[in-house]
Amino acid sequence: MDFRDRHVIVTGGTGALGNAVVGALVEAGATCHVPYVVAAEAERFALRQHERVKLVAMSNLADEADVARLYASLDKLWASIHLVGGFSMAPVAQTTKADLMKQIEMNLVTTFLCSRAAVNAMAGRGGRIVNVAARPALEPRSGAGMAAYTASKAAVAAFTIALAEEVAKLGILVNAVAPSIMDTPPNRAAMPNADYTAWPKVEEVAATILFLASPQNAVTRGAIVPVYGRS
């Protein structure tokens, strides 16, 4: 996959999956613009000194004005990859409205605002948008005990499909991946007795994201691609 001379925004790029995605993109020739909110994450980011990685300090990716400024700062945007999000596990009886709205803001609102800004930035040229849903978005029964998270990710999946249909004639292909639990240090720490070998690796999920965001993806749109590994 050839991303030479192509600019890509990767939200959540300083996280575990983000490191894998940004690493693969720069290896393929892309220039990556990586917004971050937490300074400590940016300082730990392995690719922060790479000549084709541009870290951008942000206050909030759910803030309309902040997101608009980020996308307006780029002259030519090829792809926008939205990895930023949040997770919460709690039964509905213990979930407040504030908890629900936080999940919606972190997962759906950030995806919506960045997608909207990307569509405007890609006007007349086309491009690619890749969102991140989750396995419970496709299998809601598996979301028992984390209904707020499941609902927010199901909304991301529905939004992705609707947007894909809306902008296809503009040459913008919109898709999403739906990971199961990924093999990351925090997930291993949270589930020490799990079978890690069955979990998809972040590099494997990144490879699917890269294809969906690439010029080589000429026809796939409106897909919510399961990336479950053997789990």
Active site residues: 149
**Euclidean distance between CA atoms 35 and 22, whole angstroms:** 12
Q: Enumerate the β-bridge partners of residue 82.
A: 11
Longest dimension (CA), the chain: 51
**Euclidean distance between CA atoms 140 and 153, whole angstroms:** 10
CB 32 within 8 A of CB 53: yes
Query: What does the radius of gyration of the chain's CA atoms come to, in whole angstroms?
Result: 17
- What single-letter amino acid sits at 203? E
Q: Which two tokens stand for residue 33?
A: 């613009």
Q: Which two tokens stand for residue 110?
A: 């950030």
Q: Enumerate the β-bridge partners of residue 131.
A: 176
CB 159 within 8 A of CB 114: no
